[in-house]
Structure 1
Amino acid sequence: MELPNSVDLFEESLKSLIHNCSDLIVKHANDGLNLIYFCNLVDSNLVNNQLLSSLQQTRLEPFSMEGLAQSIPIGQTDLTCEMEQVIILLLRGWTVVYKVGQTDAILVNTSKQPKRSPSITEIETNVIGPQIGFTESLETNLGIVRSIIAHENLCNESFEIGEITRTQVQLLYLKDVAEEQTVNTLRQRISELEIDGVIGSTLLVQLIEDNSLSIFPQMIITERPDRVSFSLLEGKVVLLVNGSNFAIVGPSTFLDFFKSPEDHYLHWNIAMFIRGLRFLAIFISILLTPAYVAALTFHYEIIPPSLLVPLSQSRSKVPFPPLFESLFLEITIELLREAGARLPTKVGQTMGIVGGIVIGQAAVQAGFTSNILIMIVALAALSSFTTPIYLMGISIRFVRFPMIIAAGIWGGIGIVFTICLLLMHLLRLTSLGHPYMHPIFPPRWRDMVDTVIRLPFPLLSARSTFTRTPNKQRFNKNKAKQKKDIDE
């Protein structure tokens, strides 16, 4: 659809295509120039003080829209003769400069999008390392990443998703480091999406991951620029979504969800100890409560004799079987956690602490549960909170419930059967076509030096084979081992 040949027809066409646009403003400048914009989307100071004053002072002989566009002292300008392009950019806060008799219109970026300044991370907190986190502005997030990786090989491609929302998405990767097939796979999945709108990266990742029916996330969602930068240097691909302060990182393995960028800021032996605690916390969170239920229901012989007396005394007033007792406490813990997350910050912290103490003590005195089970459930809950990625922590807590039910029905056999089903599911998962359980399956012993364990940096010269990167070396390990004094 071409541009109309008069301002009145132009305005009527816009109002007919954009329904109920009472905030559409048309300003008349000199020499027949007209400014058209939405007053709620533009920076009024930029329009009045720079754009309008520039148009009033510009005299071109002979007149041309190309020359006028070059004289405008604002960075982003464009020429178009299509009405569809005008509408799209108008709704993003651009201003249209139109003159009667011209076949082209000038589009000037005068947008003023609501945004906040970068601040500390709220969910993925850390003690050592950068504190800055992503914001809801795509331009700000892209600038943060480029300030960390200031290299010409950092590529970014722009996409538009959603026929109604027209959400802007940036695809980031390092040329000659990221595998071309991985980039093409993600590029194809984004471009083939047919949906009305995408609000946030958490919705987008559900549309592009390999198995959307799995309870386990296959791509990392993070608000930390340092995690994104480390991932890009490893050959992974990153998606930034406008309006979301979370970036999508892929492909990702199951063990990547238990690694923190803070592990690289600590000394290697301390980082390896902390990472080992996280892996231990997985088994505690998943197996501790089901083991309690199975032991008290079917396997009394595995309980030490010295523990039988206090255990029987603790359960003497409990009328429920261990299965219902443990499910009651687990659901109570989840209710407290969900209530604390939904309430305001100060009230939520008080609710979590006071509510847990009051409800736990009242449950013991009323005979609903035993003291020992409260300690076990609390330890399992604490272990699930050690996971650096929030979505993986939720998945681990979810897995605990079917395992408790299986332990209460079949005992130890039920636990083993549930673990086998869980492992079969994990081994079949992929992330952008890459094995989810790498480097455990298929076994890659060389890649375990920075996955399961954490070795000193001089021993981490090779990149992981998981990303299939064409550039396999981070640095020359022979030169890294050389130590020279100043006088040499």
Structure 2
Amino acid sequence: MKPKADLPSKEASSQNDENQNWLQRLSKSNDFVHEHTSIKEENPFWLSYYRTLISSDILHQDVLPFLNEQLSLEELKSVIPVQEILCTNDPKVIIENLMRGFLALQRHDQDEECLLINIANSKFRDVSIAMMESSTVGPQVGFIEELDTNLNLIRKRLPVPELLVIEMKVGELSKTNVAVIYMDGIADPENVNTVVQRINDVQYDHIQDSAYLSSMIEDNTNSLFPQSISTERVDRVAAGLTEGKIIIAVDGSPNLVLVPVTLIESFIAMEDYSYSWIIGNFFRLIRFFTLYISGLATPLYVAIMTYHYELIPAPLLETLVGSRATVPFPPFLEALMLEIMIEMVKEAGIRLPFKIGQSLGVVGGIVIGQAVVEAGLTSNVLLILVGLGTLASYTSPVYKFSNTVRFIKFPVIILSQWFGLFGVFLGWQFTQIHLLRLTSLGRPYLSLYPIRSTSFQDLWFRLPFSKQQENPTTLRPQKKRKATGNRENPEPVNDFYE
């Protein structure tokens, strides 16, 4: 029993050691400052902070002028004109807040209790247009890397108390602030609980971007298809919230994550809602069919030119044979070489500085493509097909999805070389089966079965706003209807007035 009696005293002594050593622990870094505000050491106050995290203007204008030796720390808390101030003696809380840009104020050097004052330097880039999801019409505002600013942009779009935010910290070392945002009374509570639980279960040292978190909480982390939508558009986030989606915002990332999602949502651009519903449907269907153009153009060329010449009409066959007369490679190597070359040009254009990369993407693609055709290393017909497929892959408003479409064609090209058209069929059947089994937050990703009536209101097709009466049932929203009434169309005016 004696060892048990000694436990409280050991815990107390370890707590005292920790209180005395947090200064020594932080002082190992050269950018940590522990200084006295007076020449005489017996006078208060002592300041501790990281000079690389704090704003010197706030320190000298809003903190130092208000330090009064006659006031206690609790009294100073109501005098200093800074919003976030707390008084504590917990060394873990002190260290955590000092790393966030707080100032630790002590009356004497060895005091356990200190006042933590938020004087963090919060300089970020200004709110600008969405860089990855640009549009010609409609709102242009995009998110930035600062979490509070992003929440401000969302609340300006949805100024209702039903918009709720759950804040968490993720990352053993990075301690990244993460916010889960949803509409109370619309979003399914089961979806909210699932997202919160999956984020809390994440065990990783650093979370630098929302892409880290989205890939860790997806239903199938090995799938090529993104089971969430990453967006920097405020209007897409606001529209998703009103339908019942859950938003994940990560401090330091301008891209917010929407869950759950379906495959067809990767073809929906917010610009569609700025046009007539007929024109919006036309553009949406074009994006949908470009998926097949991008994934099938090159594999079909390889399969037909290798095994199925009889499928080509005679006039076209003469053109194809003439274009490949000087090509020393089989169609498979020819297509693979050209596809990889296109990807190399794209990657080089992205990695180089903006002005150089833009010139390289245009000039390099034209010069290299023309040189390859003139050298007889590939046919001009295949060059057209590869260029058409590459353009088609970029029609998706979601950049991650366009990467998936471009990657899928490579295994299908290999299957087309082995089995011809049957290989192309196998590749796309495997893709269809995978999509049918795939889920996003437990909800069907393909949304083909069972057939929902709401899928024909604003998913597969976009009806007029007056016909969009219900929220998507795939999200299981608590609020079923999103329209309270319809405006009746006016009667046509008679040419003859009474």
TM-score w.r.t. structure 1 length? 0.93
What SS is found at the alignment partner of 2:370? helix
* Aligned CA distance change for structure 1 residues 4 and 149 (closer, same or farther; 3 Å): farther
Q: 1:254 aligns with which of 256, 263, 267?
A: 263
Measured in 2, the distance between the counterparts of 1:427 and 1:20 equals 56
1:71 pairs with 2:79: yes
Task: Check whether the contact 1:340–1:352 (CA below 8 A) recurs between aligned residues.
Answer: yes
1:14 pairs with 2:22: yes
Q: CA deviation at 1:3?
A: 12
Q: CA deviation at 1:181?
A: 0.3
Measured in 1, the distance between the counterparts of 2:227 and 2:46 equals 51
Kindly report which structure 2 residues correspond to 1:149-188, keeping only aligned pairs within 5 A, or say none.
149-188=158-197
Matched residue, 1:99: 107
Measured in 2, the distance between the counterparts of 1:277 and 1:374 equals 22
Measured in 1, the distance between the counterparts of 2:417 and 2:49 equals 66
Measured in 2, the distance between the counterparts of 1:474 and 1:307 equals 53
Matched residue, 2:5: none
Matched residue, 1:354: 363
Task: Check whether the contact 2:48–2:103 (CA below 8 A) recurs between aligned residues.
Answer: yes
How many residues are paired up?
A: 476
Farther off after superposition, 404-413 or 31-40? 31-40
1:203 pairs with 2:250: no
Aligned partner of 2:50: which letter? F
* Aligned CA distance change for structure 1 residues 140 and 394 (closer, same or farther; 3 Å): same
Q: CA deviation at 1:142?
A: 1.2
Matched residue, 1:274: 283
Measured in 1, the distance between the counterparts of 2:347 and 2:177 equals 32
1:59-80 CA-partner distances (Å, limit 9, x unpaired) = 54xx4x3332122211111222
Task: Check whether the contact 1:286–1:397 (CA below 8 A) recurs between aligned residues.
Answer: yes
1:91-116 CA-partner distances (Å, limit 9, x unpaired) = 11011122248764221111003421
Superposed CA RMSD in Å reads 2.2
Task: Check whether the contact 1:29–1:55 (CA below 8 A) recurs between aligned residues.
Answer: no
Kindly report which structure 2 residues correspond to 1:42-441, keeping only aligned pairs within 5 A, or say none.
42-56=54-68, 59-60=70-71, 63=72, 65-100=73-108, 104-438=113-447, 440-441=448-449
Measured in 2, the distance between the counterparts of 1:112 and 1:362 equals 53
Q: 2:32 aligns with which of 13, 24, 38?
A: 24
* Aligned CA distance change for structure 1 residues 441 and 16 (closer, same or farther; 3 Å): farther
Measured in 2, the distance between the counterparts of 1:114 and 1:161 equals 22
Aligned partner of 1:75: which letter? Q
Matched residue, 2:51: 39
* Aligned CA distance change for structure 1 residues 39 and 401 (closer, same or farther; 3 Å): same
Measured in 2, the distance between the counterparts of 1:327 and 1:344 equals 28
Aligned partner of 1:211: which letter? N
Task: Check whether the contact 1:2–1:81 (CA below 8 A) recurs between aligned residues.
Answer: no
Q: CA deviation at 1:473?
A: 1.0
Aligned partner of 2:363: which letter? V
1:473 pairs with 2:481: yes
Task: Check whether the contact 1:3–1:103 (CA below 8 A) recurs between aligned residues.
Answer: no
Measured in 2, the distance between the counterparts of 1:481 and 1:314 equals 60
Farther off after superposition, 291-300 or 375-384? 291-300
What SS is found at the alignment partner of 1:32? coil
Farther off after superposition, 262-271 or 227-236? 262-271
1:428-469 CA-partner distances (Å, limit 9, x unpaired) = 11111111111x233224322211111110011210001100
Measured in 2, the distance between the counterparts of 1:234 and 1:255 equals 15
* Aligned CA distance change for structure 1 residues 3 and 40 (closer, same or farther; 3 Å): farther
Measured in 2, the distance between the counterparts of 1:456 and 1:114 equals 43
Measured in 1, the distance between the counterparts of 2:360 and 2:223 equals 32
Aligned partner of 2:328: which letter? P
What SS is found at the alignment partner of 1:177? coil
* Aligned CA distance change for structure 1 residues 459 and 5 (closer, same or farther; 3 Å): closer
* Aligned CA distance change for structure 1 residues 29 and 18 (closer, same or farther; 3 Å): closer
Measured in 2, the distance between the counterparts of 1:415 and 1:295 equals 11
1:342-380 CA-partner distances (Å, limit 9, x unpaired) = 111121121111111111111112211111111111000
Aligned partner of 1:36: which letter? S
Measured in 2, the distance between the counterparts of 1:5 and 1:239 equals 37
Farther off after superposition, 179-188 or 72-81? 72-81
Q: CA deviation at 1:10?
A: 9.5
| Structure 2 portions without partners, runs of 5+ | 1-10, 492-498
Task: Check whether the contact 1:156–1:171 (CA below 8 A) recurs between aligned residues.
Answer: yes
Measured in 1, the distance between the counterparts of 2:14 and 2:374 equals 80
Q: 2:456 aligns with which of 417, 423, 448?
A: 448
* Aligned CA distance change for structure 1 residues 437 and 2 (closer, same or farther; 3 Å): farther
Q: Give the % identical residues.
A: 37
Measured in 1, the distance between the counterparts of 2:357 and 2:13 equals 56
Task: Check whether the contact 2:26–2:32 (CA below 8 A) recurs between aligned residues.
Answer: no
Task: Check whether the contact 1:458–1:481 (CA below 8 A) recurs between aligned residues.
Answer: no
* Aligned CA distance change for structure 1 residues 473 and 12 (closer, same or farther; 3 Å): same
Aligned partner of 1:248: which letter? V
Measured in 2, the distance between the counterparts of 1:342 and 1:441 equals 41
